[in-house]
Amino acid sequence: MATPVHFYVSFRGIFKSTPEAWSFGLRFSRDNPAGGDANMDDIDVENMGDALKVFMQNTQSAFPDSAQFTEVRGYLIGPDGKMQGNPEIVDFTSQNVVGATANKYPPQVCLVATHVALNRGPGRYGRAYIPTAATIGTDMRVTVGVAGAFLSAYTTFVKAVSNEIDLELTQSSEQLNISRVGAGGARQTVDHHEVGRRLDTLRSRNRSMVEERLPGGHIDW
């Protein structure tokens, strides 16, 4: 099954003092009708990591201070859906980059950023599950103000990442949604972002911590 060629960047980290980890990824165009396509030499993966640092340390992102950024990875994805060549991996562990908001929730709780394209069908939606310490209101959802602030910070972050892909002439890299559905796969340019006000869960971020039940004493009925 074919896949449209693109660039994939993965941001990874840990939840400090736990065995749990977090990650999310973004996809971008690398083809350029006006000139040469972008390759790894045209992409600054370290600066992409710096963009995440700014996002995490912006209080509008509500990124928890329990979440530490450890590395960013850049991949060229070929038409078979697999990595071409070697990835570029930049380690940020020693910088001790953490979120700027006091943690409130266990690792599996997250805000979901949805990447929305214009056309119906394959590739219309993409999603990123972002660690969060966002404040909820009396209706048990993230407040409109907090969600709006996150949305602004998130879009600024994604734009900053795309700017680190150097395409010749006036061509700009675009965020993409990619689907393998269909003979040649499907690719759509992201039109805008949305954020869900209901906090979501990602169970893969809560599978390593031991439940460690605390037993009580014998009950004398």
Reported as a pLDDT band with limits 50, 70 and 90, residue 200 is very high
In this predicted structure, the answer to whether residue 162 has a pLDDT above a threshold of 80 is yes
Residue the block writes with tokens 């950024």: 69
Q: What is the mean pLDDT of the chain?
A: 92
- 8 A C-beta contact, residue 30 and residue 38: yes
Reported as a pLDDT band with limits 50, 70 and 90, residue 71 is very high
**Average pLDDT score over residue span 108-120:** 96
- 8 A C-beta contact, residue 68 and residue 97: yes
What one-character-per-residue DSSP string does 89-131 give? EEE-GGG-EE-SB---S-TTEEEEEEEE-SSSSTTSEEEEEEE
Residues 6 or more apart in contact with residue 10 via CB below 8 angstroms: 23, 24, 25, 72, 73, 75
Tokens at 42, concatenated: 């045209």
Domain ranges of the chain: 6-205
**Average pLDDT score over residue span 82-110:** 95
pLDDT in the model for residue 212: 83
pLDDT in the model for residue 39: 79
pLDDT in the model for residue 78: 87
pTM value is: 0.92
In this predicted structure, the answer to whether residue 34 has a pLDDT above a threshold of 90 is no
Give the pLDDT confidence of 139-161 residue by residue, as tens digits.
Answer: 999 999 999 999 999 999 999 99
* 72 three-class SS: strand
Residues 6 or more apart in contact with residue 126 via CB below 8 angstroms: 27, 114, 115, 177, 178, 190
pLDDT in the model for residue 150: 97
- 8 A C-beta contact, residue 12 and residue 73: yes
In this predicted structure, the answer to whether residue 166 has a pLDDT above a threshold of 90 is no
Give the pLDDT confidence of 13-24 residue by residue, as tens digits.
Answer: 999 999 999 999
pLDDT in the model for residue 38: 75
User: Which of left, alpha, beta for 12 (phi over 0: left; psi -120 to 50: alpha)?
Assistant: beta
